[in-house]
Amino acid sequence: MNNFVFHNPTKIIFGVDTTNEVGKEAKNYGKKVLLVLGQGSIKKIGLYDRVVGLLKDSGLEVYELEGAKPNPRVDLVRKGIQMVRENKIELILALGSGSVIDTGKAIAAGLTYEGDVWDLFRYRKPIKPTIPIGVVLTLAATGSEMNGNAVISNMETEEKLSISSPYIYPKFSILDPKNTTTVPMNHTLYGIVDILSHVFEQYFDRTEGAVLQDRFAESIMKTVIETTPKLIKNPEDVEARGIILWCGTNALNGIIGVGKEQDWASHDIEHAISAVYDISHGLGLAIVFPHWMRYVIDVIPHKFAQFARNVWGIQGDDDFEVGLKGIDRLIDFYESIGVPTKLSQIGINDERLEEMAEKATLFGPLGNTKKLTKEDVLNILKMCL
């Protein structure tokens, strides 16, 4: 295992009805709050009225930025930055899922940059200290509620890029499982795929000796795999929702990746697909990941065998063979829950594969397990068809 520093400053407030804490928490950071919202589901379920009421009861002045779409757009971020500047907002409060949180984080990052916010993503300009962000999470998926990452899309250039900074960790995140019971089943399942994929990115690497991280990662995988059918059976099962929610946060709050090389090539490939075709992130990952696994298994067959044995209970002596069976079991799992595992199943053909491979390798070869050139990415995309 490699040396590491672990510092995660986000305060987590977890549990049924912890939404009630929002006013008390938010008022620690000032009087003027920008509430960042998605496209309306939160209003339909009554959560919006409840949160605004709680904020006002705590004496806060609430401004609103509505409309963060899945694959959140830089245009809305620009609008948010302007609103924060004009109204001297002191706290950004994201009420929603990953796209809403990432919009809030990008607003905060762009606020203290004098040029256009897209420069932070496209030209990797340094991110400076900024105003605080709070979160009331409504969907288990990205881990954005407890990390310093944000992913934003630019539809003009068909790019979907990320930033990462210690300055955009949320100060607090409220994780109330009840708020996730209304997530439609397709987004619930895409979230589940995203959670598993975050674990895979940190688990399947070349680092040896990160025993605790591996076992924690395997526990998250097993917990997600055994809880998913319960959620499919009863989407309003608050306990199962809570289990998945906490898995999602732990999958990408840094803890399972400490001391590890990690990979992240599959995420970059997926971001290129969703930049061009505007598909859900988790859906793209369900398609890309198993093929990435087959492409790199020869580098770390023992790791894939460990996954197959410890997560799926597959037996056998030949690491490569056992590892391949583990990948097959993952595909079977995705198919059993009704998530597509091929681009052709979602109407994507070979027309723009080259372009996507180019976009994915914008900053150079991808990943660590096997350094993937544009040609490698193209090969993987062809396997995905």
Residues within the interface to ligand NZQ (CB under 6 A): 38-42, 45, 70-72, 96-100, 102, 138-139, 141-144, 147, 149-151, 179-180, 182-184, 187, 191, 194, 252, 267, 281
Taking a C-beta distance cutoff of 8 angstroms, is the pair 380, 292 a contact? yes
Question: Which CB atom, from 159 or from 194, has the smaller least distance to Zn ion?
Answer: 194
Q: What angle do CA 178, 183, 186 make, to 5 degrees?
A: 145
Q: Shortest Cβ distance from residue 34 to Zn ion (Å)?
A: 25
SS3 label, residue 352: helix
Binders in 188-227 for Zn ion, by CB under 5 A: 194
Residue 10 or 306: which CB sits closer to ligand NZQ? 10
Angle (CA) 135-152-335 rounded to 5° is 85
Question: Residue 85: what residue type?
Answer: R
Give the residue nearest to ligand NZQ (CB). Answer: 98
Q: Report CA 370 to chain centroid distance, whole Å.
A: 23
Residue 171 binding target from ligand NZQ, Zn ion, none, CB below 5 to 8 Å by type: none
Helix (H, G, I), strand (E, B) or coil at 263: coil
* Partner interacting with residue 141 (select from ligand NZQ, Zn ion, none; CB below 5-8 Å by kind): ligand NZQ
Residue 323 partner contact from ligand NZQ, Zn ion, none using kind-dependent CB cut-offs of 5 to 8 Å: none
The residue with tokens 């790019």 is 159
256 binds, among ligand NZQ, Zn ion, none (CB under 5 to 8 A by kind): none
CB of 143 to Zn ion, least distance (A): 8
Give backbone dihedrals phi and psi of 327, rounded to 5 degrees, phi first: -65, -40
**Residue placing its CB nearer to Zn ion in the complex, 19 or 197:** 197
CA distance 25 to 135: 10
Spatial distance between the Cα atoms of 84 and 98, rounded to a whole number of angstroms: 20
Please, what is the minimum distance in Å from the beta carbon of residue 152 to ligand NZQ? Answer: 8
* 194 versus 268: smaller Cβ distance to Zn ion: 194
Q: How far is the CB of 35 from ligand NZQ (least distance, A)?
A: 13
Smallest distance from ligand NZQ to CB 323, Å: 24
Give the whole-angstrom CA distance, residue 341 versus residue 332. Answer: 9
Smallest gap from residue 201 Cβ to Zn ion (A):
8
How far, in Å, CA of 100 to CA of 150, rounded?
Answer: 10
How far, in Å, CA of 37 to CA of 64, rounded? Answer: 8
Give the one entry of Zn ion, ligand NZQ, none that residue 19 binds, where binding means its C-beta sits below a cut-off of 5 to 8 angstroms depending on kind: none
Task: Work out how close the CB of 270 gets to ligand NZQ at its nearest, in angstroms, rounded to a whole number.
Answer: 8
Q: CA-CA distances (angstroms) from residue 3 to 47, 62, 165, 205, 260?
A: 43, 44, 20, 16, 9
Q: Determine how many CB atoms are found less than 10 A away from the CB of residue 316.
A: 13
> Of the two residues 153 and 306, which places its CB atom closer to ligand NZQ in the complex?
153
Which residue blocks in 209-278 are alpha helix, DSSP H?
211-233, 238-251, 265-277
Write out the two tokens for 247. 């898995």
Residues 178/138, Cβ–Cβ less than 8 Å: no
Question: How many residues make contact with Zn ion (CB under 5 A)?
Answer: 1
Give the nearer residue to Zn ion in terms of CB position, either 194 or 214.
Answer: 194
Which entry of Zn ion, ligand NZQ, none binds 89, CB below 5 to 8 A by partner kind? none
Instruction: Give the closest residue to 200 by CA, choosing from 344, 357, 367.
Output: 367
Min. distance of Cβ 247 from ligand NZQ in angstroms? 14
Task: Examine residue 263 and tell whether it contacts Zn ion (CB under 5 A).
Answer: no
Nearer to ligand NZQ (CB atom), residue 179 or residue 361: 179
Tell which residue, 110, 63, 59, has the closest CA to residue 91: 63
Q: Tell me how far, at minimum, the Cβ of 22 lies from Zn ion, in Å.
A: 26
Q: Which residue is nearest to Zn ion (CB)?
A: 194
Which residue's CB is nearer to ligand NZQ, number 165 or number 369?
A: 165
- When the beta carbons of 37 and 195 are compared against Zn ion, the nearer one is 195
Catalog residues that contact Zn ion under the rule CB under 5 A.
194
